Chains A and B, each alone.
Chain A
Amino acid sequence: MNGTGFVESASDRMDTIVGTLLLGGVLTSLALIIAGLTWRWLATGHTASVLDETLAGHDVVELVGADLRALGQGAVRPRLLISLGIVALLLTPYLRVLASMLFFAFVEHNWKYTAFTAFVLLVLTYSLVLR
């Protein structure tokens, strides 16, 4: 590859982590949503009118909480799979930023970029949760 010295290989490692996280997140999300839609289709036998439930007024914490409670009660239904798929999708870029921040802080000791990614994380957290 293009590794020339330690600094280069550290950023190569970050590329791998970020790339794998993005791919894993999107594939997990698509798999859950497709499973939910297929199950629903098989169970109801018709495709008319999809679920009428909006994720209204939910912030992500409430959404995750409701999903986890349903999971805990063993109430795995198509709607839960779809909802989990959407949550996985929302968490994908979020976790990407979180992982980059931790990498900048603890591996590269690059405080400038730790601060930048922390700002992005703070704004995302605020807008996803604190409304």
Chain B
Amino acid sequence: MTLGPLLLLSFVAGLVGALAGMGGGIVLIPALTLAGEDIKRAIAVSTISVIATSSGAASAYVRDHVTNLKVGMFLEMFTIVGAIAGASLTVASSTRPLFILFGLLLLASWTALWVQRNRPWQAPATQDGLSRWLELDGAYDDQASGRHVVYRATRAGIGGPLMFVAGLVAGLLGIGAGALKVLIHDLVMGLPPKVSTTTSNLIIGVTALAGTSVYLAAGMIDAGLAAPVIVGVTIGAFAGTRILLRVSNETVHRVFRWVLFVLGFEMIVRGLRGGG
């Protein structure tokens, strides 16, 4: 592909990904393969662009003191090992299973977004010994309600190993796997939603670096492809997040969720037909 179309495609992928409430990679990888790019190269390049999008987003949240650095740094120990394992699997794998897995991932994300309801956050009643020893607690100022929210995380002993799986998926498919991480923070560890999304952003950057290192060593990262993709996706995701803050219309989000569904279906069909 030439530079112009590549920049445009990456920009749109970043924009649509952010509008659907996901990262850039989830639309970028199917889009690159539709444009004729090899799926393994698309995954490798997406992984490196995830470092840029997540670090950019994380920087603002960290400075607003919403991100919990301790929770992030504890869980990173699990995600980076998972990412290295996942990326190594992709390097060794043939393309067909990757198409099918990615398609299933898109359908799963679509389902997760579909059934997602705005449950009110309930603070866990007690903090277990391990989580207390790990100092997994914190406080932040909620800008929407103007309240000072104090919280304690729990079940670190289950959350940690589960984050290995989130890292594995991230490394394997070249995405941030933010939705999976948020799910673990929310449902298992009882973090407030704002803390779980912002902390997930912090973890995603380091996890993507671990995955990138494997793809770099395997010679799968092409500077000519990576450069425009990094620029396009990052600017697209930034624009998408800005738009998302203003557009609260549920039907708009629904339209973009259907994009995930169609792409997922299409990837599975291509995988079953032979991964071309």
Interface membership of chain A positions 6-48, coded 1 if the CB is closer than 8 angstroms to chain B and 0 otherwise: 0000011011101111110110011001101100010000011
- Contact A48 B230, beta carbon cutoff 8 Å: no
- Contact B223 A53, beta carbon cutoff 8 Å: yes
Interface residues of B in 64-114 (CB under 8 A from A): 65, 67, 69-70, 73-74, 76-77, 80-81, 84
Smallest Cβ distance from B61 to chain A, in angstroms? 8
What residue in chain A is nearest B70 (Cβ atoms)? A113
- Contact A92 B205, beta carbon cutoff 8 Å: yes
- Contact B6 A50, beta carbon cutoff 8 Å: yes
What residue in chain A is nearest B148 (Cβ atoms)? A2
- Contact B65 A18, beta carbon cutoff 8 Å: no
- Contact B6 A96, beta carbon cutoff 8 Å: no
CB neighbours of A23 from chain B (8 A): 55-56, 59-60, 63
CB neighbours of B224 from chain A (8 A): 49-53
B222 part of interface (Cβ distance < 8 Å): yes
- Which of the 9-residue segments B121-129, B186-194, B212-220, B243-251 touches chain A? B212-220
- Contact A51 B223, beta carbon cutoff 8 Å: yes
Tell whether A2 pairs with B139 under 8 Å between CB atoms, given A11-B69, A53-B223, A113-B73. Answer: yes
Smallest Cβ distance from A31 to chain B, in angstroms? 10
The number of chain B residues with a CB under 8 A from chain A is: 56
Tell whether A19 pairs with B62 under 8 Å between CB atoms, given A26-B234, A50-B225, A119-B77. Answer: yes
CA distance A26 to B122 in the complex (A): 35
Tell whether A41 pairs with B226 under 8 Å between CB atoms, given A11-B69, A15-B65, A93-B55. Answer: no
What residue in chain B is nearest A21 (Cβ atoms)? B59
B15 part of interface (Cβ distance < 8 Å): no
CB neighbours of B223 from chain A (8 A): 51, 53-55, 79, 82-83, 86
- Contact A96 B205, beta carbon cutoff 8 Å: yes
CB neighbours of A49 from chain B (8 A): 2, 224
B261 part of interface (Cβ distance < 8 Å): no
A131 part of interface (Cβ distance < 8 Å): yes
Smallest Cβ distance from A79 to chain B, in angstroms? 7
- Contact B134 A59, beta carbon cutoff 8 Å: no
Q: Which of A2, A18, A19, A90 contacts B209 (CB 8 A)?
A: A90
